Amino acid sequence: MRGLAVIHFDTNLLIAAIDAAHPHYHPARAAFASGKPVSASAVAWTELLSKSVPALRLQALTALLGSRILPFTKADAEFAGQLFQAPGVKRAQRLDTMIAATAILGGAELATVNVSDFAPFIPFGLKLLGAPKH
């Protein structure tokens, strides 16, 4: 998956994709239906599984993602450490730095509804799905 035109999902849209009552269900499903390959980092997957997810919804999400849950590598860890030191990044954004690093190094667009949380990483090469191109 790394190096291809991929949509990389943040945890919030993974959750939304399996809950029709979620306010971001339709954007999440649209991203899955875009025709581009989709993935999520092992970090986002861990964050998802830190919540109570009904078994049927987890099975549905697993079917949508297939085996495209990307490992968090040493290179990702080193880059996430650099992102964590960026101006304006808060302690609570540690997982966001890890998810952003995986997306950036994988050449993927990040699908998220928490745009402001990920904005500090745009100068480092993060592409947000649907964001205007500069």
pLDDT at 64: 87
Largest CA distance in the chain: 41
- How many domains is the chain built from? 1
Query: Residue 73 — very low, low, confident or very high, per pLDDT cuts 50/70/90?
Result: very high
* Cβ contact 101:80 at 8 Å: yes
CATH of the domain at 31: 3.40.50.1010
Is residue 2 a part of any domain in this protein? Answer: no
The verdict on residue 74 lying in a domain is yes
* CB neighbour list of residue 62: distance below 8 Å, 6 or more residues apart: none
- What residue numbers bound the domain in which 68 lies? 7-128
pLDDT > 90: percent of the chain? 65
In a domain, 123, yes or no: yes
Domain contains 133? no
